[in-house]
Amino acid sequence: IYQSYETRLNVYPDELNARTASPLLVHFGTLFSILKKLNYSDVQLITYIEKFDVLFKKKSSENGINVTKRFEDEKCDQIADELVLNNSTKAVYMNSFHNFERCLFEAFQKKNITQKFQWISEHTNKYITSYNYDGFESIADGLIAINANYPETVNKSFVNYFENLRPENNRRNEWFKNFWQIHFGCGIQGNRNYLTKCSKSQKLEWSNNLNLAVVSVFNAVYSFAIAFKNAWKEKCGGNGLICESLRSMDSKTFFEDYVLKVQFFGSK
């Protein structure tokens, strides 16, 4: 598994965080099903996200999948060399940006590597259905892509809120004015870096081509809010401020006894 991030990160301080925050974990079942269907019992792991490999190896073991080797290096050329050295394990899962895949395939091409691997790649933008592998077709041949299935629509109230945002009514976001000027190519309040002046007729428009992963954020916020309200009612009687019993509740109890028990079917 190659986790594509710009720097070395420590994003999984504990298993509860990983179970809550990582979209990859949602697709573990899909990954393991693919490996079993193709009769692969081994997979190569390449990651530089600290502590991720521990959880992945645990889940893999539970599903009868063996992680034969783990690599930390994020350089395409070095990853290519390491994969070849461990070429008895043909399955390689990539959770990455498309540009990393091209970088890795380019390294294979430059090194004239002829060994074949079963690439399994996860992409989170549902609306990107094809990727450019021009020049690397023989290397990418047989690649399986897993696309995240986000809802088709978002909360209508958010769309209305989004489309009515303007620099004059969104003062709490100090970067919004700069975003507006760049987006519309116009200047605000005498900004001479732009040839045209922003007008009141300009309006943001929501498009389904936007990354709908934002829907998952909405649903997560709603779910945590409902869990907190349920805990508040149970521990504090639903009256007054936050009581000491709720304030002293540890994160594990809140997660397992309340968050996981929320019955919520989406904000849309």
The mean of the pLDDT values for the chain is 79
Say if residue 4's pLDDT is above 60.
Answer: no
End-to-end Cα spacing for the chain? 33
**The predicted structure's pLDDT at residue 50:** 59
137: which residues sit within 8 A by CB, 6+ positions away? none
* Segment 117-155, tens digit of pLDDT: 999 887 644 445 456 788 899 999 999 887 766 555 667
Q: Kindly report the length of the chain.
A: 268
Per-residue pLDDT tens for 192-209?
A: 888 899 999 999 987 765
Quick one: average pLDDT of 78-107?
A: 85
- What is the value of pTM for the model shown? 0.56
| Confidence band of 240 (pLDDT split at 50, 70, 90) | confident
Higher pLDDT, 188 or 239: 188
Short-list 74, 73, 77, 71, CA closest to 111: 77
Instruction: Determine the Cα–Cα distance for residues 48 and 2; give it in Å rounded to an integer.
Output: 8
User: Per-residue confidence at 244, pLDDT binned at 50, 70, 90?
Assistant: very high
Please report which helix (H) or strand (E) contains residue 57, including its range: helix 52-62
Higher pLDDT, 117 or 48: 117
Nearest to 117 by CA among 87, 145, 96: 87
Question: What pLDDT digit, counting tens, does each position of 25-40 carry?
Answer: 556 788 889 999 999 9
Separation of alpha carbons 73 and 43, rounded Å: 17
pLDDT number for residue 126: 46
Identify the structural domains of the chain with CATH numbers, from first to last.
2-147 (3.40.50.2300), 213-261 (no CATH)
pLDDT of residue 47: 67
Q: Helix, strand, or coil here: 118? A: strand
Answer yes or no: is pLDDT of 52 > 80.
no
